[in-house]
């Protein structure tokens, strides 16, 4: 969502004729004219083929590459103003989803200069541009240019504030300066309008991301805590609603203010640390277990006595403080799942931008807070409902079981990133099977808790929930023997962590049965992958876990490189692997056509000291696999969210626009095939 989208370059060469050719739709020519003895104008003219267009200098940073000019500095001349351009056509571009300025047929750019040498000299530089037609875009190109300039013959100057201006001809120079100033003002206004448009789109994307974050496994279990707090609120109806608003505004304030400050002071990698390090994840796991025990009726969660005493003395402030505390708890506990989402927003702060991440965080938190704020109104309504039957306690018990199940996700993340081996897939599944079996028995009133009331008969809703619960248990049981359980891919540990996998055993036996004695099976790899003793690829794919090793193999085998930026705690990564990578078409292409490398951004395995590196991004020392890979992703692609897939040639050139989370297997197949086409054309 938030970034300098160089990844939007669509190198899709799909309109070639039957004869292979190098496209060169933009030709450049260079000339110069002296406007006085000591001033001149440089002309950089682009001749553009029919149907093609060249982008303006003034387009949003999140779009394609803008045309730009870089002049080698010299004491022989001085630039006056910036490069001016003719009036451009402005239209909405559906490919980049924004308004873009471009030129057709011809475009002449001009640069005024002040001559400061009495001898002839050359002005050299490089221009960078990108061009597209209705079917394809070409990658950005660098063109070197050079101008031959005669020196001045008169040495009459006025120097003011380190800006040298000729006295003759005054009218010409004044007019040139005036025109340049007007052009700059116009360009600044255009940039402002485009920036506002870009920020609006960024806000909308962040808002959608906030809505999506609500359905993550870390956020859903917070709902019962919200219900419990507002359910026991003894304030008036009006004040209860005010507290609910304070609760919602507190969520927005915490995310917007604290989140942005964290990004500026600690950098984008802090979000990765919070969502993957053992300390916060074990802490969140314990919190969920405490919440579950409380909902089971073992004890009541209350504010500290000193806090209660203080709030009693300040009656009006007490409720507000409690609402803020609830909001802070929500943000803290849910950040393990929302971290990867907001990380894409926070990375803008760490890269030097301020306004954009603030707007992004506000959009995210606004959407995130809306459902909780509305839900906070319900306790006052629920309190007026009949209390008979103890149905409210039943709701708490059901949610307590969910707290137990979903809280295991945090411990699982720490277990995977540090390779503890505590919660392998079958152990995790065993816990879930037992938990949901007990939940089903509770719904059938085979289990009773202390605060449950007597029920003479089981209602239809409880029967339906019990059926759904036991059906879910039956669905999970084959997973103990290696079934993929695609619906739970984002919640369960990777299938590669399972000790007993019946499917794998059968495949291994088949391979052994039909293999040729003494024949070594070709793994498709050049050498033994580093870290393969504790890192695995899904679906028995063979690949690497180190970029340099994978790139070397890609060169050796003359294949393109498929990079999977992933993480042990990445829910969407597991879903992509279970639902998209499992497609036979995807597996066939990855196995046969690409060198696959999985770069884990959250693995805590420490690297040998010889492989430690200081980041060019934040200047910090990277000592383990995860921080090194995360830094590689940020510095090369300005993205820190996972999953993120990149296709590179064997010399490191990008082959197609990188791809993120997309459960459409057809789209993924097309993405891989486009990368192969681009690789073939480059070779």
| pLDDT value at residue 553 | 93
- CATH code for the part of the protein at 535-682: 3.40.30.10
CB-CB neighbours of 119 under 10 Å? 9
Q: Dig out the tokens for 168 from the structure.
A: 């003759």
| pLDDT value at residue 307 | 45
- For the residues of 466-520, what is the DSSP string, one character each? HHHHHHHHHHHGGGGGT---GGGTTTSPPGGG-S--HHHHHHHHHHHHHSPTTPP
CA angle, residues 379, 382, 384, in degrees to nearest 5: 120
* CA separation, residue 451 to residues 389, 397, 434, 454 (Å): 11, 10, 22, 10
**247 contacts 327 by C-beta, under 8 angstroms:** yes
| pLDDT value at residue 186 | 43
Write down the domain spans for the chain.
Answer: 6-172, 204-384, 535-682
Mean pLDDT for back-to-back runs of 10 residues, the chain (683 residues): 37 35 82 84 92 88 83 88 88 77 91 88 90 78 88 48 34 34 41 55 80 61 58 60 79 77 58 69 83 77 50 46 73 61 54 63 82 64 46 75 86 84 90 95 88 79 93 93 80 78 60 42 74 88 93 92 88 85 91 93 87 79 88 84 89 89 91 93 80
Residue 137 burial class via C-beta count within 10 angstroms: exposed 0-12, middle 13-18, buried 19 and up? buried
| pLDDT value at residue 505 | 63
Which strand ranges, in their side-by-side order, compose the sheet holding 106-115? Answer: 26-34, 39-48, 106-115, 77-84
Domains 6-172 and 535-682 share a fold: no
For 398-429, b where at least 16 C-beta lie within 10 A, e where not — what string?
Answer: bbbbbbbbbbbbbbbbbbbbbeeeebbbbbbb
- Give the per-residue SS3 of 592-651: HHCEEEEEECCCCCECCHHHCEECCCCCCEECEHHHHHHHHHHHHHCCCCCCEEEEECCC
Residue 4 burial class via C-beta count within 10 angstroms: exposed 0-12, middle 13-18, buried 19 and up? middle
Q: How many residues are listed for the chain in this entry?
A: 683
| pLDDT value at residue 338 | 63
Of 570, 568, 563, 524, nearest to 545 by C-alpha is 563
Class of the CATH-defined domain 6-172: mainly beta
Four-point Cα dihedral 557, 563, 566, 572, nearest 10: -120
**200 contacts 60 by C-beta, under 8 angstroms:** no
For 505-543, b where at least 16 C-beta lie within 10 A, e where not — what string?
Answer: eeeeeeeeeeeeeeeeeeebbbeebbbeeebbbbbebbb
């Amino acid at each position: 969502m938030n970034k300098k989208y160089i990844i939007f370059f669509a190198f899709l060469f799909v309109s070639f004729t039957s004869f292979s050719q190098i496209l060169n739709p933009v030709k450049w020519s260079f000339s110069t004219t002296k406007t006085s003895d000591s001033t001149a104008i440089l002309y950089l003219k682009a001749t553009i083929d029919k149907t093609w267009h060249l982008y303006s200098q003034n387009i949003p940073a999140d779009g394609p590459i803008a045309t730009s000019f870089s002049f080698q500095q010299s004491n022989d001349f001085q630039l006056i103003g910036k490069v001016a351009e003719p009036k451009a056509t402005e239209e909405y571009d559906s490919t980049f989803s924004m308004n873009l300025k471009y030129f057709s047929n011809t475009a002449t750019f001009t640069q005024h200069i002040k001559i400061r040498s009495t001898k002839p000299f050359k002005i050299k530089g490089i221009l960078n541009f990108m061009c597209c037609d209705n079917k394809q875009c070409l990658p950005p190109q660098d063109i070197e240019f050079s101008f031959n300039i005669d020196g001045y013959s008169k040495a009459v100057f006025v120097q003011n504030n380190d800006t040298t201006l000729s006295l003759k001809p005054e009218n010409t120079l004044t007019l040139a300066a005036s025109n340049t100033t007007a052009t700059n003002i116009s360009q600044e206004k255009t940039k402002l309008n485009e920036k506002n448009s870009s920020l609006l789109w960024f806000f909308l994307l962040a808002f959608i991301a906030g809505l999506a974050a609500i359905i993550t496994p870390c956020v859903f279990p917070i709902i019962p805590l919200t219900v419990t707090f507002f359910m026991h609120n003894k304030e008036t109806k009006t004040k209860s609603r005010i507290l609910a608003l304070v609760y919602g505004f507190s969520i927005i304030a915490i995310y917007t203010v604290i989140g942005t400050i964290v990004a500026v002071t600690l950098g984008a990698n802090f979000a990765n640390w919070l969502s993957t390090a053992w300390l916060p994840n074990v802490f969140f796991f314990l919190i969920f277990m405490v919440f579950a025990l409380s909902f089971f009726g073992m004890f009541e969660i209350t504010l500290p006595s000193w806090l209660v005493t203080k709030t009693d003395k300040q009656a009006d402030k007490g409720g507000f403080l409690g609402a803020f505390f609830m909001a802070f708890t929500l943000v803290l506990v849910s950040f393990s799942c929302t971290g990867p989402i907001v990380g894409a927003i926070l990375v803008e702060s760490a890269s030097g931008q301020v306004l954009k991440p603030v707007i992004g965080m506000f959009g995210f938190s606004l959407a995130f807070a809306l459902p909780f704020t509305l839900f906070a109104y319900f306790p006052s309504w629920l309190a007026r409902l009949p209390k008979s039957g103890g149905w409210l306690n039943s709701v708490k018990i059901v949610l307590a079981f969910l707290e137990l199940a979903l809280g295991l996700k945090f411990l699982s993340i720490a277990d995977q990133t540090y390779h503890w081996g505590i919660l392998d897939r079958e152990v995790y599944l065993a816990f879930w099977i037992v938990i949901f079996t007990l939940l089903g028995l509770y719904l059938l009133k085979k289990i009773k808790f202390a605060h449950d009331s007597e029920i003479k008969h089981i209602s239809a809703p409880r029967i339906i929930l019990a059926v759904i619960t036991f059906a879910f248990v039956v669905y999970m049981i084959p997973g103990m023997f290696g079934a993929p359980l695609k619906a739970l891919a984002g919640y369960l540990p990777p299938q590669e962590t399972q000790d007993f996998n019946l499917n794998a055993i059968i495949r291994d036996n088949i391979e052994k049965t039909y293999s040729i004695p003494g024949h070594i099976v070709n793994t498709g790899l050049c050498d033994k992958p580093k870290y393969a003793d504790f890192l695995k690829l899904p679906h028995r794919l063979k690949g690497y876990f180190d970029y340099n090793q994978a790139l070397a193999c890609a060169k050796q085998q003359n294949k393109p490189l498929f990079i999977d930026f992933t993480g042990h705690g990445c829910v969407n990564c597991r879903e992509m692997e279970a639902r998209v990578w499992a497609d036979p078409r995807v597996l066939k292409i990855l196995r046969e056509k690409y060198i696959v490398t999985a770069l884990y951004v959250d693995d805590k395995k420490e690297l040998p000291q010889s492989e430690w590196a200081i980041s060019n991004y934040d200047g910090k020392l990277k000592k383990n696999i995860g921080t090194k890979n995360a830094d590689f992703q940020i510095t090369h692609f300005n993205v820190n969210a996972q999953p993120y897939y990149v296709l590179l040639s064997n010399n490191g050139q990008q082959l197609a626009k990188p791809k993120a989370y997309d459960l459409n297997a057809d789209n993924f197949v097309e993405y891989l095939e486009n990368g192969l086409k681009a690789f073939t054309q480059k070779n």
